[in-house]
């Protein structure tokens, strides 16, 4: 389903971007542009053709690696997108790792202590984390840890190869603002998965044999609990990649998210479409990897492969 989903997403994105109110010609030429100048601009960039013709032309070039040219500065969009993808992936990956480090132990503990005090406390924390707007949290983090304490920079990006320390310091606050919010959902998913596994026959048998909580979790519960967690985690990673639009703007990080924002503001259709499709491809690849990992982790699939 990877290819059909990618094609469908590209069609939806292309139509949505082109039917949104606003004129690319006026964004480039200015509000005082004459009708003749607007008509010449639209003809030059093929915007006066039927929408389906524009899509076929764009898709044909995209398959060959040509994602178009920016309306604003006439620069090829493809190399700019490729340059920004690693930055966004570093931010989203760091945030997702932080979310996992929070969600897996807390969710597992809540499931093991179902309907006890620890479960109620962790569920409350998960609800609080999940309902916190990431841009609001980012603003608080900048205020306290950057402006007041001076521990981290207020924004900007330093490539890892130039200065690893500054690169890591610049990623900590944006990663925290994304990771904490994402951990709220993942805690609840891990908790529900552990509770479901705790009710299975093989766990009851292990309990009857005297297995403790740690052994139950590591030997009997974790593998089955992690499968639905992976599926939701892949979706959540996609949400993280999409959420970087605001966070990258807050911290002035030059990733895909900031490129999407520039495309929206300038009505730069090639930039916006290329950046949006890059996010789509990342989400689809992550979901594909999660499905493959689930097949390998699932004990039933492992036994099938062994036979």
| Phi, psi of 76, deg, nearest 5 | -60, 135
User: How confident is the model at residue 221, as a pLDDT?
Assistant: 67
Written as six digits, the tokens of 292 are 């493959």
Instruction: Tell me if 14 sits within 8 A of 273, measured CB to CB.
Output: yes
Written as six digits, the tokens of 200 are 């299975």
User: How confident is the model at residue 302, as a pLDDT?
Assistant: 45
The answer for residues whose C-beta is within 8 angstroms of residue 298's C-beta and 6 or more apart is 227
Domain 78-306 has CATH 3.40.50.10800: no
Per-residue H/E/C for the chain: CHHHHHHHHHHHHHHHHHHCCCCHHHHHHCCCCCHHHHHHHHHHCCCCCCHHHHHHHHHHHHHCCCCCECCCCCCEHHHHHHHHHHHHHHHHHHHHHHHHHHHHHHHHHHHHCCCCHHHHHHHHHHHHHHCCCHHHHHHHHHHHHHHHCCCCCCCCCCCCCCCHHHHHHHHHHHHHHHHHHHHHHHHHHHHHHHHHHHCCHHHHHHHHCCCCHHHHHHHHHHHHHHHHHHHHHHHHHHHHHHHHHHHHHHHCCCCHHHHHHHHHHHCCHHHHHHHHHHHHHHHHHHHHHHHHHHHHHCHHHHHHHHC
Q: What are the Cα distances from residue 11, in Å, to 53, 65, 71, 77, 288?
A: 12, 17, 21, 19, 21
User: How confident is the model at residue 173, as a pLDDT?
Assistant: 92
Written as six digits, the tokens of 210 are 């005297």
List where CATH 1.10.3720.10 sits in the chain: 78-306
Instruction: Tell me if 122 sits within 8 A of 186, measured CB to CB.
Output: no
User: How confident is the model at residue 305, as a pLDDT?
Assistant: 40
pLDDT in tens, the chain (307 residues): 888 988 998 999 888 888 777 777 777 777 777 888 888 888 888 888 888 888 998 888 888 888 888 888 888 888 888 888 899 889 988 999 999 899 888 988 888 787 788 888 999 999 999 888 888 999 999 999 988 888 888 888 888 888 888 889 889 999 999 999 988 888 988 888 878 777 666 666 666 656 665 666 665 666 667 777 777 887 788 778 877 888 888 888 888 888 888 888 888 888 888 888 888 888 888 888 877 776 776 655 444 444 4
Query: Model pTM?
Result: 0.80
* Separation CA 59–CA 15 (nearest Å): 13
* Separation CA 162–CA 159 (nearest Å): 5
* Separation CA 11–CA 66 (nearest Å): 17
User: How confident is the model at residue 176, as a pLDDT?
Assistant: 92
């Amino acid at each position: 389903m990877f290819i059909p989903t990618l094609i469908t997403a590209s069609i939806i994105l292309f139509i949505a971007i082109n039917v949104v109110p606003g004129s690319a010609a006026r964004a480039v030429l200015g509000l005082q542009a004459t009708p003749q100048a607007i008509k010449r601009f639209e003809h030059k960039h093929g915007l006066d053709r039927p929408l389906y013709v524009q899509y076929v032309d764009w898709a044909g070039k995209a398959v060959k690696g040509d994602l178009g040219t920016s309306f604003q500065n006439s620069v090829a969009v493809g190399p700019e997108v490729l340059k920004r993808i690693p930055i966004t992936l570093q931010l989203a990956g760091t945030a997702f790792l932080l979310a996992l480090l929070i969600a897996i132990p807390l969710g597992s503990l809540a499931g093991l202590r179902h309907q006890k005090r620890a479960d109620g406390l962790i569920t409350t924390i998960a609800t609080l984390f999940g309902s916190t707007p990431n841009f609001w949290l980012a603003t608080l983090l900048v205020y306290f840890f950057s402006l007041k304490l001076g521990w981290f920079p207020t924004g900007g990006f330093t490539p890892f190869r130039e200065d690893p320390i500054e690169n890591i310091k610049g990623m900590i606050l944006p990663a925290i603002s994304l990771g904490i919010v994402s951990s709220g959902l993942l805690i609840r998913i891990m908790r529900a998965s552990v509770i479901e596994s705790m009710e299975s026959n093989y766990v009851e048998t292990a309990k009857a044999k005297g297995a403790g909580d740690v052994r139950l979790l590591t030997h009997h519960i974790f593998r089955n609990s992690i499968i639905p967690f992976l599926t939701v985690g892949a979706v959540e990673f996609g949400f993280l990649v999409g959420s970087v639009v605001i966070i990258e703007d807050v911290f002035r990080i030059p990733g895909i998210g900031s490129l999407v924002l520039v495309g929206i503001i300038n009505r730069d259709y090639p930039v916006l479409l290329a950046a949006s499709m890059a996010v789509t491809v990342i989400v689809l690849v992550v979901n594909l990897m999660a499905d493959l990992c689930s097949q390998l982790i699932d004990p039933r699939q492992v036994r099938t492969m062994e036979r």
